[in-house]
Amino acid sequence: MSDNLILTLIVFFYFSPLLYHLRIVISEYRKDNKVPLKKFKRILKYSFIFMIPLAVGFAILTHTNFLDYESPKTYDQFDEITFENFRGLEFFKKSLYGNERFAYVVTSIESKMDDNSVTVHSLFYPSRSFVYKKNTNSEELLRHEKYHIKITELFARKARKELSELKYFNEDKIESVLASIRLKERNFQKEYDYDTFHSYVYREQKRYEETVDSLLTLLNDFKNPKISFHAKK
């Protein structure tokens, strides 16, 4: 059953009492009886009032599963991550070209500025990341998703390297560097998924793994999330 059909059925069943009352309103209105219309307006009002928090709750849980929440993980927790940490909810379960061997991971590069320093973390969001089947035993799929986390850390290190080359603390320059790096990271993530076809192209998957691991090693000096500056402008 398609997602659109499921959604249509949900909406239909939710509003079916309204449709029933609307039919009565039309029938009675022709007889110049306006009492059912007043009742219908009241039902309509409360139906929408009740629907708004449901829609908001639905949207919130789709974005972040607060019913089974796990706080974001930093890269130093990388080895602990399994599909058990993928806690996101997908009410209308997606698949990859009909294949249930599918997952997605949510990561980001986050920063925090202090008086004379900036801390740059790569984060993995368990409660926003999703796997079609929790009990999947696909090591290849988990490996593919975890390399998305490695890629985010790679670009976080690139950001730290660029920031360490600034002569002084300057918020505008720091934000500019981070914005540029985030854009490059997103583009690289898309290329990774496209070239590997979400892990199905083994040769490309291995090529990316070797490239990312090599670049991470080259940037080992920038593992520390905090970059301190000696002077301000």
Residues 135 and 35 in one domain: no
Q: What pLDDT is attached to residue 7?
A: 53
Residue 16, domain member (yes or no): yes
Same domain, 52 and 79: no
User: What predicted TM-score, i.e. pTM, was given to this entire model?
Assistant: 0.78
pLDDT at residue 8 greater than cutoff 70: no
Identify whether residues 18 and 78 lie together within a single domain: no
| Residue 233, in any domain of the structure | no
Q: What is the DSSP string of 77-89?
A: GGGG--GGG----
| 8 Å CB contact between 120 and 160 | yes
Q: Is residue 180 part of a domain?
A: yes
pLDDT digits (tens, 9 = 90+) for 181-213: 999 999 999 999 999 998 889 999 999 999 999
Q: What span, in angstroms and rounded, lies between the C-alpha atoms of 216 and 210?
A: 10
Task: Indicate whether 117 and 176 sit together in one domain.
Answer: yes
Lowest average pLDDT, out of 48-52, 162-166, 188-192, 217-221, goes to 48-52
Instruction: Report how many domains make up the chain.
Output: 2
**Distance (Å, rounded) from C-alpha 16 to C-alpha 46?**
14
Domain with 34, as residue range(s), is 3-63
